[in-house]
Structure 1
Amino acid sequence: MTRELDQAIDDLTIGAQEWARMSLTERADLMRLTQAAVGRAADAWAAAAFAAKSVPSGSYEGEEWMSGPAATGPMFAEYALSFDRLAAGKSTIDGFKLSTVAGGRTAVRVLPGNPKDVLLFSGFTADVWLQEGIGPEQAKADAGLHARNVGENGGVGLVLGAGNISSIGPLDIAYELVAYNRASILKLNPTFAHLKDAYEQALAPLIERNLLRIVNGGPEVGGYLADHPQISHVHITGSGRTHDAIVWGPGEEGEKNKAAGTPKLGKEMTSELGGVSPIIVIPGDWTKADLRFQAEHAVTQRMHNAGHNCIGGQALIVSSDWGQKDAFLAEVRNVLATIQPRAPWYPNGQASIDRAKATYPDAEQVGSCLLVTLDKESPSELYDGEYFAAVLGVTELAGIGSTFFKAAVDFANERLDGTLGGSIIVDSKDIKAMGARFDEIVAEMKYGAVGINVWSGIAFLLPGAAWGAYPGHTLDKVGSGIGIVHNTHLIAHTEKTVARGPFRPFPRSVANGEMALGPKPPWFVTNKTSAKSGEALARFGGKRSWWNTLKVFPPALRG
């Protein structure tokens, strides 16, 4: 096996040299070839993901279409456009809307990016907020990252793929190549071992040019590759425990190395490691339809992918002073009780649920989810680390309006583990009532992705969004990770992505003054046509034509 791995790294070394010699136009062409290959392989990819996760037939299959090939194809298309801009002597964010947001930060509008986005994401926007002190001119000048450095050889990196969302590995290797001129060996998580053939079909243009190799194997293969002298960089999507074992070493050895500040791994490592994501529900005067829709929204954030998401909502924060609190939580229970049951499929998923049951013996089993009600005397385990399973905790804090919102954000920043993403559910009229104070509090959220009336996890699917932890983590306090991925416009100095959606679906959105024509989002676990919509989005991702755009609407409107 080591001989095969050595040969793969030798091939990739040649590939990195060839990439350095490619022009920007040739790189754009390669991105488009890969986008088309992803589209052709979409059926095989989705089928392999269904099998890997034992996905029940029906609407849950839509999750695999959307978080697999449908997420991947558009990313390659957008990377191609960034190379086009660089080839024309422009900034990769030339022509983008730049604005000044709370705290004087510069924000780059990344959604909608074109007329098709306006239709597919009606009423949704996304902005990448930059770190303090970065003005518009510097943002434009520094955009492009290492893609501007034609001739640069970034060497060969190791990408340790995730085992829960099938687009993560392919998208991580794409960012390594485009942003850092680095060829990659992608070691698959054992849960996705059987996706290797589908991946090799989808990513064939990169493999043929010796820019990618895909291998299976356990920890011994990952360890061999991480320590290989020709590997210059390691990227992982996984747990903090695995990260620390690679960086510092396992067990007692790792603890000693960490205490001494002497990493075992003598090379750069970036990471995406998850955390405890909050769902902050700002109290308002909601109709029964609002209560039901937002309960479906909250449940989706926990139950998508059977709860096995690093960005899954784990801490539902509501106001103890909200007159509709009990009605909302009753709707949450109703949704959990009525959605199609789904057993944990990820390794140790059931063990995580059992651990939560032991810690919180009064927790309710509602459908496939363990619902935990916490108070000041409750153990903090639910706040201290992600279960990576169908466990949802409810926490009450006092206050209404901006007072509650500020208290909830402080609680999330200070008490919840990790900084990957957080979501806010709030009526649009209550946002208006809070005025500038609303965005000032959003600016205080120490999360790499913030969703306002949209699950923060949707930022993962948006090509232009920067995906990763809030900046500031270090190898010895790695939190939710170091660095970002996706970021197809190659924006530098990113702080967070802020996505916004309508509070209500169409037609209630328009009736209440929101200019949004979208129906129930296809990623909702209650969407009846998610599978058909997801497949249509995968076709669109492979070829972003107007015809493929229009084909998304018939199933989406029936959801």
Structure 2
Amino acid sequence: MSEAPTAVSAQPRTPDTALSQTERDAIDVAIGDLGLGAKTWVHLTLEQRARLMERLHASVTAVAAEWADAAATAKGLEPGHPLRGEDWLGGPYGVLTALTAYRSTLLKLARGQSPLTDVKTDAAPGGRVRAHVFPLGATDGILLSGFTGEVWFEPGVTAEEARRTAGLGQLAPTTSGGVGLVLGAGNVTSIPVLDVLYELLSGNCVSLLKLNPTQDPLLAVFERALAPLIEPGFVRIVRGGGEMGAYLTGHPAIEHVHITGAAPTFETIVWGPSTGAGEAATLQRKRENRPKLEKPITAELGGVSPIIVVPGVWTEADLRFQAEHIATMRLQNAGHNCIAGQVVLMSSDWPQRDAFLDALRTAYQAAPRRSAWYPRSTEKLAGAASDYPDATWFAEGTRALVVIGADEDATAIETTEYFTPVLGVVSLPGNGQEFLDTAVAHANEKLTGTLGANVLIDPQTQAALGDGFDNAIAALRYGSIAINAWSAFVYLTPTLTWGGFPGATLDEVESGIGVVHNALLLDHVERSVTHGPFRPFPRSVSSAFGAGRFSVLPKPPWFVSSRTGARVSEGFTRFQMNQDWVKLVATLTQAFRA
């Protein structure tokens, strides 16, 4: 077994600078190590793999505080900033919960059981079967009270087939998936680690992880967190920019590529550059359906996420809470999320439309100040200003609200993933089912991407719509759908699946191909659906006497308006680290002060 090396690194370079021979040699050594690691992996039993998840849990726990601090500091969030909690949840929390869930799946498979053993399945609209995969235990129900999650399978898949095929690569643990390349995302620090884990467990594929340059400050943390995978040759980490990525995707020893990023990057990898000297060759390859990349690729690529606000009779408290909810969907992580809500679809006939817009402006303005830290943010904000010169700007010009008028063109806001704090409001006619059906069709046909959609609806209106509401949800062509929640909840819940809606192709990639996370290792998945409480505690108490969902959370810790979000997010993560119930009580006390 070879000694684990430090990460291969590339010095800053101009885009046209080729890799040095020293760098190429180091990459070849790393890939050679992975080739040996791939042979080692297939000899591990399922029980040994479960123990490996335990070792990883311990190694992530050991660096969790440093991880969260380094991630927040790199984004300009100084100690004490109220939004530093996002780097606990979007970093070590997401990985720790995934490791626990993967371990459970491996132990079930080792006992000859399906990962869906003891998981409720029932019918979903359109001849589908769904599995109720969250919560699966009392702890989840306590920490995230009022939230539930389902995985919907493709039409025609039976419950028996879903149970039989659950396990993916771990149903054939001695079949190697070879050496793969994971091109890590740069915006959320758990993404590259979770992608590496999924490659290993879904397809028995060891990984060369290339960090996005924005996550270079996390290199030492990742090396220690992933040490149990690095030591036996299951993972190697490299650094570098586009030239490094291009060399790796074309390397003959790489058998599979996974990318989390943007559609233009995917297009360049698969077909070639869309501008400059290589543009003609790229167009020729597309015409001939002859991709430049001659190996399988999976991808998660983001898009423009809708927030459908179904008209109803809302209290002033409802208006304020859901306005803060939408502000969170756009402003969390400074808007640098592939799942950030970007277009609010509202009814032009809703009597409370103006009141809700007022509440939304207030919430958007009041959210804590922060910098737009991701590369090209200034350029993208300038693009939005050019697209919509009448936009309203908040927080010293760092966030925009674009209310599309009756005669204005919504094309830019609906097709450009700004990846910065730019929020649009588009009005559509109708009330009740008419509006909902119109909004679903609009989201499907007008908005770029299929990654995630959000629907806000009060319990009385949802109950009145009945099957019409369920059928509308089934008609939404998105890989994750959040009802009275934000679809980022799907990302953070390991037993749910994360990816675009099925049907994407290399030349029409939409929000990507395949899924990740998926800790139950389910096959033939169509989408994940999560439900949350429309009203927080104590107003959720009314649900015990009528429609709606009860929750003990006054305000979820990921809300940008949560006064105690940073402390609660850290406390939730520390509970995943040590299962200390006494300290959890203190964390929940802080949650009640949100």
Name the TM-score, length of structure 1 as normaliser: 0.98
Q: CA deviation at 1:263?
A: 0.7
Aligned CA distance change for structure 1 residues 302 and 65 (closer, same or farther; 3 Å): same
Match in the other structure for 2:56: 34
Aligned pair partner of 1:518 in 522, 535, 553? 553
Pairing 1:154–2:177 present? yes
**Do the aligned residues in 2 keep the contact of 1:70 with 1:540 (CA within 8 Å)?**
no
Partner residue of 2:450 out of 402, 419, 444:
419
- 5 Å-filtered alignment, 1:380-419, equals 380-419=411-450
Aligned counterpart, 1:16: 38
Q: Give the AA of the match of 1:494.
A: V
- Answer yes or no: is the 8 Å Cα contact 1:145–1:179 preserved in 2: yes
Contact 1:46–1:64 (CA<8 Å) still a contact in 2?
A: yes
After superposition, the C-alpha distances for 1:511-552 in whole angstroms (9 at most, x for unaligned) are 244322222000000011111111112212333454564453
Separation (CA, whole Å) in 2 of partners of 1:475 and 1:233: 14
Cα distance in 2 for partners of 1:379, 1:323 equals: 23
Q: For residues 522 and 20 of structure 1, what CA distance do their matches in structure 2 show?
A: 41
Superposed displacement of residue 320, structure 1: 0.6
5 Å-filtered alignment, 1:84-483, equals 84-251=107-274, 252=279, 253-367=281-395, 368-374=398-404, 375-483=406-514
Q: Distance in 1 between matches of 2:473 and 2:555?
A: 25
- Residue 496 of structure 1 is matched in structure 2 by 527
Select which of 25, 36, 53 maps to 1:3.
25
Distance in 1 of aligned mates of 2:551 and 2:389: 43
Rounded Cα–Cα distance in structure 1 between residues aligned with 2:304 and 2:108: 38
What SS does the aligned partner of 2:556 have?
coil
Residue by residue over 1:232-272, the C-alpha shift from the partner in whole angstroms, topping out at 9 and shown as x without a partner, is 00000111111011111113032221222111111000000
Aligned AA (1:380): T
Alpha-carbon distance between aligned partners in 1 of 2:240 and 2:24, rounded to the nearest angstrom:
11
Segments of structure 1 that go 5 or more residues without pairing to the other structure are: none
Query: What amino acid does structure 2 have at the position aligned with 1:46?
Result: A
2:126, 2:474 within 8 Å by CA — same for their partners in 1? yes
The equivalent position to 1:535 in structure 2, one of 567, 570, 575, is 570
How far off its partner does 1:49 sit?
Answer: 0.4
Letter in 2 for 1:8: A
- TM-superposed deviation, 1:460: 0.2
User: Is the contact between residue 157 and residue 232 of structure 1 (CA under 8 Å) also seen in structure 2?
Assistant: yes
Q: Conserved in 2, the CA contact under 8 Å of 1:35 and 1:541? A: no
Contact kept? 1:45, 1:195, Cα under 8 Å? yes
CA distance in 1, matches of 2:355, 2:213: 43
Q: Give aligned pairs, total.
A: 559
CA distance in 2 between partners of 1:317 and 1:552 (Å): 36
Structure-2 separation of matches of 1:544 and 1:491? 27
Deviations 1:456-500 (CA, angstroms, capped at 9, x unpaired): 111000010100000000001111000000000011111110000
SS of equivalent residue, structure 2 residue 180: strand
Which residue identity is paired with 1:449?
S
Give me the whole-angstrom Cα distance separating, in 1, the residues matched to 2:282 and 2:576: 43
- Per the TM alignment, residue 19 of structure 1 is displaced from its structure 2 partner at its CA by 0.7
Aligned-partner SS, 2:501: coil
The aligned amino acid for 1:263 is: P
SS at 1:128 equivalent: strand
Letter of the structure 2 residue corresponding to residue 281 of structure 1: V
Mapped partners of 1:379, 1:28: distance in 2: 50
The alignment partner of 2:126 has SS state of helix
Matched, 1:45 2:34: no
Distance in 2 (CA, whole Å) between partners of 1:92 and 1:342 is 42
Distance 1:283 1:192 in 2: 41
- Pair 114,512 (structure 1): closer, same or farther in 2 beyond 3 Å: closer
Deviates more, 1:441-450 or 1:375-384: 375-384
Letter of the 1:155 partner, please give it. G
SS at the partner of 1:231? coil
Task: Provide, for residues 415-441 of structure 1, a one-character-per-residue CA deviation record: whole Å limited to 9, x for no partner.
Answer: 000000000011011111111111110
Q: Are 1:116 and 1:546, in contact at CA under 8 Å, matched by a contact in 2?
A: no
Paired residues of 1:116 and 1:549 also in contact (CA < 8 A): no
Question: CA–CA distance in 2 between the matches of 1:91 and 1:545?
Answer: 30
For 2:316 and 2:138, the matched residues in 1 are separated by 34
Contact 2:143 2:572 in 1 (8 A): no
Q: 1:97, 1:108 within 8 Å by CA — same for their partners in 2?
A: yes
2: distance between equivalents of 1:13 and 1:519?
Answer: 50
* 1:251-300 CA distance string (max 9 Å, x none): 30322212221111110000000000000001111111110000000110
Q: Counterparts of 2:578 and 2:154 in 1: how far apart (Å)?
A: 34
Tell me: CA distance 1:493–1:544, structure 2 relative to 1, closer, same or farther (3 Å).
Answer: farther
Which amino acid counterpart does residue 369 of structure 1 have in structure 2?
Answer: R
Structure 2 distance, partners of 1:307, 1:543, is: 31
Cα gap change, 1:158/1:544 in structure 2, threshold over 3 Å: closer, same or farther?
A: farther
Over the matched positions of the two proteins, sequence identity in percent amounts to: 45
Secondary structure, counterpart of 2:512 in structure 1: coil
> Is the Cα–Cα contact under 8 Å of residues 76 and 371 in structure 2 kept in the other structure?
no
Structure 2 vs 1, CA of residues 234 and 551 (structure 1 numbering), >3 Å: closer, same or farther? farther
Q: Give distance in 2, aligned partners of 1:42 and 1:23.
A: 28
Secondary structure of 1:280's counterpart equals strand
Q: Report the Cα distance in structure 2 between the residues aligned to 1:213 and 1:51, rounded to whole angstroms.
A: 25
How many Å separate the matches in 1 of 2:485 and 2:517?
19
**What per-residue deviation string (whole Å, max 9, x for no partner) do you get for residues 367-398 of structure 1?**
33211112453151111121111100100011
SS in 1 for 2:344: strand
Q: Name the aligned partner's letter for residue 151 of structure 1.
A: T
Give the partner amino acid of 2:489: I
**Scaled by the length of structure 2, what TM-score is found?**
0.93
Distance 1:321 1:144 in 2: 48
CA distance in 2, matches of 1:170, 1:492: 21
Structure 2: give runs of 5+ residues left out of the alignment: 1-22
Per-residue CA deviation, residues 41-61 of structure 1 (Å, 9 max, x unaligned), is 101111210122112442210
Secondary structure at 2:383 match in 1: helix
